[in-house]
Amino acid sequence: MIAEQTRMNTADLDTLMTIIRLGSFAAAARELRVDPSSVSRTVAALEAELGTRLFQRSTRRLAMTEAGSLFVDRIGPLLEEIELVRHAATDTAAETRGTLRVTASNAFGMKRLVPLLPEFCAAHPELHVELVLTDAIVDLVADRVDIAIRLGALRDSGLIALPLLKMRYRVVASPAWVAALAEPLRAPRDLERCDCVTFSTPGFRDRWFFRTGAAAAKTPVAVRPRLTSTNGLVLRECALAGLGASLLPDWLIGDDLAEGRLVDLYPKHEVAVVDAPTGAWLVYPSRSYVPAKVRAFIEFMRKAVHA
- Residue 251 covered by a domain: yes
Q: What pLDDT does residue 106 have?
A: 95
Q: What pLDDT does residue 3 have?
A: 38
- Residue 102 covered by a domain: yes
> Does residue 27 sit in the same domain as residue 69?
yes
> Does residue 203 sit in the same domain as residue 268?
yes
- Residue 80 covered by a domain: no
Query: How confident is residue 121, by pLDDT bands cut at 50, 70 and 90?
Result: very high
CATH number at residue 55: 1.10.10.10
Ordered alpha helix ranges (H), 58-201: 66-90, 106-108, 117-123, 175-179
CATH number at residue 103: 3.40.190.10
Q: What percent of the chain has pLDDT over 90?
A: 47
Q: Are 159 and 285 in contact (CB under 8 A)?
A: yes
Residue type at 193? R
Range of the structural domain that residue 22 is part of: 2-75
> Does residue 221 sit in the same domain as residue 208?
yes
> Does residue 50 sit in the same domain as residue 195?
no
94 CB contacts (<8 Å, ≥6 apart)? Answer: 291, 292
CATH number at residue 228: 3.40.190.290
- Residue 86 covered by a domain: no
Q: Are 298 and 163 in contact (CB under 8 A)?
A: no
- Residue 83 covered by a domain: no
- Residue 58 covered by a domain: yes
- Residue 246 covered by a domain: yes
> Does residue 282 sit in the same domain as residue 150?
yes
* Phi, psi (degrees; rounded to nearest 5) at 187: -130, 155
Q: Per-residue pLDDT tens for 21-67?
A: 777 888 888 878 888 888 889 988 888 888 888 887 665 567 788 88
Q: What pLDDT does residue 74 have?
A: 76
> Does residue 159 sit in the same domain as residue 283?
yes
Mean pLDDT for 140-163 is: 81
Strand order in the sheet with 98-104: 127-133, 98-104, 147-151, 279-284, 160-166
- Residue 84 covered by a domain: no
> Does residue 190 sit in the same domain as residue 267?
yes
Sign of torsion over alpha carbons 129, 130, 134, 137: negative
> Does residue 105 sit in the same domain as residue 150?
yes
Number of Cβ within 10 Å of residue 171's Cβ equals 24
> Does residue 160 sit in the same domain as residue 282?
yes
> Does residue 244 sit in the same domain as residue 262?
yes
Highest mean pLDDT among 148-152, 154-158, 211-215: 148-152
Please give the model's pTM, rounded to 2 decimal places: 0.67
> Does residue 264 sit in the same domain as residue 185?
yes
| Structural domains of the chain, count | 3
Q: Are 249 and 232 in contact (CB under 8 A)?
A: yes
Q: Per-residue pLDDT tens for 183-242?
A: 999 999 999 999 999 999 877 888 999 988 766 788 899 999 999 999 999 999 999 999
Query: How confident is residue 276, by pLDDT bands cut at 50, 70 and 90?
Result: low
Evaluate if residue 266 carries a pLDDT over 80. yes
Q: What percent of the chain has pLDDT over 70?
A: 85
Q: Per-residue pLDDT tens for 83-107?
A: 666 655 555 445 678 899 999 999 9
Q: What pLDDT does residue 307 have?
A: 45
> Does residue 157 sit in the same domain as residue 292?
yes
